[in-house]
Amino acid sequence: MREAAVDALVRGVWAAATGEASWVAALDPVAAHFRARMAVVQRFDLANHRVLAIESGGAPDLEDGVLQYLRQFHQLDTRKASLLEGRLVPHGGWYHDHEHLNEQFVASDPFYQHFLPAYGCRFVSGRTHAPAPDQACLFALELAPDRGPLDTDERAELDRIGGHLDEALRAYERLRRAQAQVLAGHQLLHTFAQPMWLIDTDRFVHDANAAAQAEITQARLLACRGPHLVATANRLEQALLAAVHQLRGQPHGSRRVLQHDPAGGLSPVWLHLVLLQPAESAGAFGAMPMLLVTLFDPLQVPAFDPYALSSLLDLTPTQARVAMALAQGLAVEQIAAATGTRVATVRSHVAAVLDRVGASRSDDLVRRLHDGHLLWGAVSRG
């Protein structure tokens, strides 16, 4: 009976680690099972001695206690420093404070006198581990005075949960970082002026930026057939098919470039494919390889945000507009004509921009403006 209950707690821990449920949903039942006031997971930055995060479950009236702890009382916590440095118990071992701290110490320690009693806690049983070399983690139960310390059976049960928690937290941190990168990938895709698609090896479209969506609507060179990305020209479609096929199973970062000369004497465009191949992918399950497809049309120039440009490079609004026009390939004479100013005026703006940016020539300026497109690219959304 107890074994099934602990199995359910383990399942909860993993559900939280994989993002299926919240940590509260995982820790509430842990606190209930052990009749603890609270079950808490704390992560610490060992290099800078900071509390990184606290996840807790248990009595709802302790939420205030967690805040108080984060604000002030963690500085007083006598257990923390010695625990985290692994001085009292080795990492992965258990710490039961009634075994380490006697009544006399407790009676004189401000943390035990001022903080814990206010929240009905007295005993702490916890387990430390190191999810990363510069981090420490404490998984602990805060126990009421009348509940008493954990007995041997309870320790064995908590040990089982702790063993899973070690690994679950590592997975959780790994996934959190990957999810941040996923978010960055999705957002940064939209800062590129070229149409870009994220497709899988079956050419199923998983993400596309605004330029790509416009391309699809026009069905100029690339189009969607159902959920799949296809080329409208037969020759390009054949080449795309072959390139995707060749890239399968290649190492991460492998590339293919397809040149396409559109009919009617238009200037050439290039289709660029990069393989995103996760380390662990196999068969029906596991990570899935994808491809980033970019349609590179030199005539398609990125739009810059003049506000970002002027504030990052200390340019006046007029200078920023001239810089943008240069970056978009306009000649000084064209800029003068478009803005209705004299060529000499535009030249003096160009000179001022070169000076501000620290570029010596206009092609150097163009290079640096395009290099920083993530900084001042106008973010367009579909």
Partner 1 sequence: MPVPDFDATVRSLYRAATGAAPWDATLAALRDGLGAGALEVQQAPASAAAGRVVDAELCWAHGPAPGLPGNTARLQLRPQADAAVELQITWSGFQAPDTATRTWLERLAPHLTDALRADARLRQLPARAQLGQLLLDTLPHPAWLLLGDGCIASANAAACEAGTPGRWSHAPGPTLVLRTPAAQQTFDAALAHAQASGTGRPVLALLPPLAGLAATACEGDGAPGEPALRARWLIRRLDANADDPVLLAILFDPDAGAAASTSAAGAAMLSAHALAGAFGFTPAESRVAVWLAQGCTVRQIAALLAVAPSTVRSHLDAVMAKLGVARKLDAVRLLVQGGWMWRAGPGEGMQDA
Please report, as residue ranges, which positions from 142 to 161 form the binding site for partner 1 (by CB under 8 A). 160
Q: Six-digit token pair at 104? A: 């006399």
CB of 114 to partner 1, least distance (A): 27
- Residue 60: both structure tokens together: 């709802």
- Contact criterion met (CB below 8 Å) for 29 and 9: yes
Minimum gap (Å) between residue 43 Cβ and partner 1? 8
What is the identity of the amino acid at 237?
E
Alpha-carbon distance of 355 to 15, in angstroms, equals 57
Would you count residue 364 as binding partner 1 (CB under 8 A)?
yes
Residues 167-206 that bind partner 1 (CB under 8 A): 167-168, 171, 174-189, 192-194, 198, 206
Out of 132, 221, 230, 239, which residue is the one contacting partner 1 (CB under 8 A)?
Answer: 132
Is there binding between residue 238 and partner 1 (CB under 8 A)? no
CB of 256 to partner 1, least distance (A): 9
Q: Under the criterion CB under 8 A, does residue 264 sit at the interface with partner 1?
A: no
**E strands, 205-279, in order:** 205-208, 222-225, 228-231, 255-260, 269-276
If one asks whether residue 248 binds partner 1 (CB under 8 A), the answer comes out as no
CA distances from 337 to 201, 203, 325, 343 (A): 48, 45, 12, 8
Q: Which of the stretches 29-37, 240-248, 339-347, 357-365 binds partner 1 when contact is defined by CB under 8 A? A: 357-365
Which single residue is written with the structure tokens 């805060």?
142
Residues 6+ apart with CB under 8 A from 310: 316, 317, 319, 320
C-alpha 372/C-alpha 148 separation (Å) is: 61
Site for partner 1 in 8-47 (CB under 8 A): 10-11, 14-15, 17-20, 43, 45-47
Interface with partner 1 by CB under 8 A: which range of 66-74, 108-116, 226-234, 371-379? 371-379
Distance of closest approach, residue 179 Cβ to partner 1, in angstroms: 7
**Rg of the Cα atoms in the chain:** 30
Q: Nearer Cβ to partner 1, position 16 or 231?
A: 16
The residue assigned the tokens 């609507």 is: 217
Structure tokens at 375: 């900084």
Nearer to partner 1, 78 or 213 (CB): 213
Name all contacts of 70-76 with Cβ < 8 Å and 24+ positions apart: 73/111, 73/114, 73/115, 76/110, 76/111, 76/114, 76/115
CB closer to partner 1, 183 vs 242: 183
Interaction between residue 94 and partner 1 (CB under 8 A): no
Q: Which of positions 299-318 make contact with partner 1 (CB under 8 A)?
A: 301-302, 308, 311-314
State which of residues 205, 274, 303, 378 lies at the interface with partner 1 (CB under 8 A): 274
By CB under 8 A, is residue 255 in contact with partner 1? yes
Residues in the interface with partner 1 (CB under 8 A) total 105
Tell whether residue 284 is a contact of partner 1 (CB under 8 A).
Answer: yes
109 near partner 1, judged by CB under 8 A: no
228 binds partner 1 (CB under 8 A): no
* Residue whose C-alpha is closest to residue 195's, from 213, 207, 182: 213
Contact at 8 Å (CB) between 153 and 5? no
- Answer yes or no whether residue 279 interacts with partner 1 by CB under 8 A: yes
CA distance 289 to 201: 7
263 near partner 1 (CB under 8 A): no
